Amino acid sequence: MATTETLRSFSNTLNEFIPTGLLVEDMVKKNWFLSNVEMINDWDGGNLIVAFRSGRASSVQFGNLPGETDIAEQTNVRGTVSGYKELWGSLIFNDRDIVEHSKLSRQNLLRILPDMLDDFTDYMEEVTSLNTFNGSQLAALTADGDASGNLTVDRHDRFTLKQKVIANNAAGGAAVTGYVQSINVETKVVQCDTTRAGGTPADFSTVLLASSGKVYHPGADPDADNSFSSLRKSVLSAANGGDTTIYGVTKTAQPYTQSINVNGGAGGLAITATNIMEGIFDAITEVRLFAKGKPNKVVMSYKNFGSVLKVIENSKGAFTLQSMKSASQFGWDEITIGAVARGPLTIVAVHEMDDDLIYLLDMRGIKLYTNGGFRRRVGPDGQDFHPIRSASGYKYIADWSLFGEVVVDRPSYQGVIHSISY
């Protein structure tokens, strides 16, 4: 086999049929967040300054001019994002699958490439969306882990066979690696072994429901903490499961770093499948009254979206349905309905959203800073892949990356309904 010629041909074919622009365009098209957020693609790393207003110019007085020494100036506070986070994804090609008669077979490559590329972009988009909306976790435990490698989770649909996962408690310190061997759809039990080939069950007995045990992608668990910042961490208050600080600034130190949190559970709106629209309108009214922005995007899970559609269908006349977009074209569902002051509401169903939150977003206050967006890794030699040799044959690895961070630079523009459970 002419190795040099084969590698060169393989590289040329990758460039021809998997251009980075096509990959990015496809991922953005499938992802509601990427389609709606402002992407700033020239961040080359280092500290990113996020400026928050902490107090506005407020000196007004009846009857007299405010005193010269008693005029309140606008004050600002600086937050800092200390470097971008990294998301990597990889495809591997077996030499025997793409080479025929000692030459690269374009027919073989094109036979396997479309399905691999579609699956890959779908999964990269899903991981990005999961992290953006829900935080670093892949799924939450609904029962204690056990020594037989069993993880009972709330979202078994986010797992795939042979996938590498990390289970850990919310506080960290109990990280256990496993490789998915089976998924019981009925019981929502994901069984993992210590190796991808299987044989020895992973011991998850230290990962507990009472310790808020969760399952993570590699590198995203609390012991590693390498995932992107999320809307959950940024928009929720510390009391409701968010972070205490935002980009190094204490949220409660000024109103502009706090979002409006509305309790959707017991003691609050007590949202159910039948009153969900009333709850959303009550919440959006509160957010638009007290928030600094104009949130008009209501982002939720498909469970909550299904309840919304049933209420609208059963209450025709109570809500004005202005438009509907189909998931078959856009990768998500959305409807636009008439609302209170400041214009209509767009209600969006995102498959990766968890059921306990509904976001009320003003996208003017959210940015995605990246170093060039999604990119295929190219080595110093100009090759788009990394060849490896083993006893079983040659393989070629192609890698894609996203270096960046989700930045909620106007937290006070945003709102969230939390603690939804029905």
SS3 label, residue 68:
helix
For residues 112-145, one letter each, b for 16 or more C-beta atoms within 10 angstroms of the residue's C-beta and e for the rest, the string is ebeeebeebbeebbebbbbbbbbbbbbbbbeebb
Q: Write down the pLDDT at residue 117.
A: 75
Q: Is residue 264 part of a domain?
A: yes
**Is 248 in the same domain as 267?**
yes
Q: Is it the case that residue 2 has pLDDT exceeding 50?
A: no
Q: Is residue 70 part of a domain?
A: no
Alpha helices per DSSP H over 194-350: 231-235, 276-290, 302-314, 327-330
Place of tokens 């270096």: 403
Rounded average pLDDT over 269-281: 94
- Domain count across the chain: 3
**Is 90 in the same domain as 190?**
no
**Is 204 in the same domain as 176?**
yes
Q: Write down the pLDDT at residue 77.
A: 87
**Is 201 in the same domain as 170?**
yes
Residue whose C-alpha is closest to residue 35's, from 125, 124, 120: 125
Q: Is residue 235 part of a domain?
A: no
Domain with 49 in it: 3-59+78-135+368-406
Q: Write down the pLDDT at residue 1.
A: 41
**Is 84 in the same domain as 12?**
yes
CATH (domain of 249): 3.30.1930
- pLDDT tens-digit series, residues 203-261: 999 999 999 999 999 999 999 989 999 999 999 999 999 999 999 999 999 889 999 99
Rounded average pLDDT over 251-279: 94
Q: Is residue 228 part of a domain?
A: no
Q: Write down the pLDDT at residue 50.
A: 92
The whole-angstrom separation of Cα 270 and Cα 248 is 33
Mean of the per-residue pLDDT values of the chain = 86
Q: Is residue 29 part of a domain?
A: yes
> pTM of the entire structure?
0.87
**Is 413 in the same domain as 271?**
yes
Q: Is it the case that residue 15 has pLDDT exceeding 90?
A: no
Q: Write down the pLDDT at residue 4.
A: 46
Q: Is it the case that residue 26 has pLDDT exceeding 80?
A: no
Q: Is residue 222 part of a domain?
A: no
Rounded average pLDDT over 47-52: 90
**Is 251 in the same domain as 363?**
yes
Q: Write down the pLDDT at residue 326.
A: 57
Q: Which residues pair with 399 in a beta bridge?
A: 90
Q: Is residue 234 part of a domain?
A: no
Phi and psi angles of residue 52, each rounded to the nearest 5 degrees, phi first: -110, 145
Q: Write down the pLDDT at residue 99.
A: 72
Q: Is it the case that residue 22 has pLDDT exceeding 60?
A: no
CATH (domain of 151): 2.40.10
Q: Write down the pLDDT at residue 3.
A: 47
Quickly count: other Cβ atoms within 10 Å of residue 383's Cβ.
17
Rounded average pLDDT over 285-307: 91
**Is 358 in the same domain as 245?**
yes
Rounded average pLDDT over 116-144: 89
**Is 96 in the same domain as 148?**
no
**Is 320 in the same domain as 389?**
no
Q: Write down the pLDDT at residue 132.
A: 94
Q: Write down the pLDDT at residue 332.
A: 81
Place of tokens 């600094």: 292
- pLDDT tens-digit series, residues 360-414: 999 999 999 998 888 888 778 777 778 888 887 888 888 888 899 999 999 999 9
Quickly count: other Cβ atoms within 10 Å of residue 81's Cβ.
21
- 304 or 386, greater pLDDT: 304
- 27 or 371, greater pLDDT: 371
The whole-angstrom separation of Cα 103 and Cα 6 is 6
Last residue of a domain, one of 164, 182, 216: 216
Q: Is residue 161 part of a domain?
A: yes
**Is 8 in the same domain as 130?**
yes
Alpha helices per DSSP H over 326-386: 327-330
**Is 252 in the same domain as 329?**
yes
Quickly count: other Cβ atoms within 10 Å of residue 370's Cβ.
20
Q: Is it the case that residue 147 has pLDDT exceeding 80?
A: yes
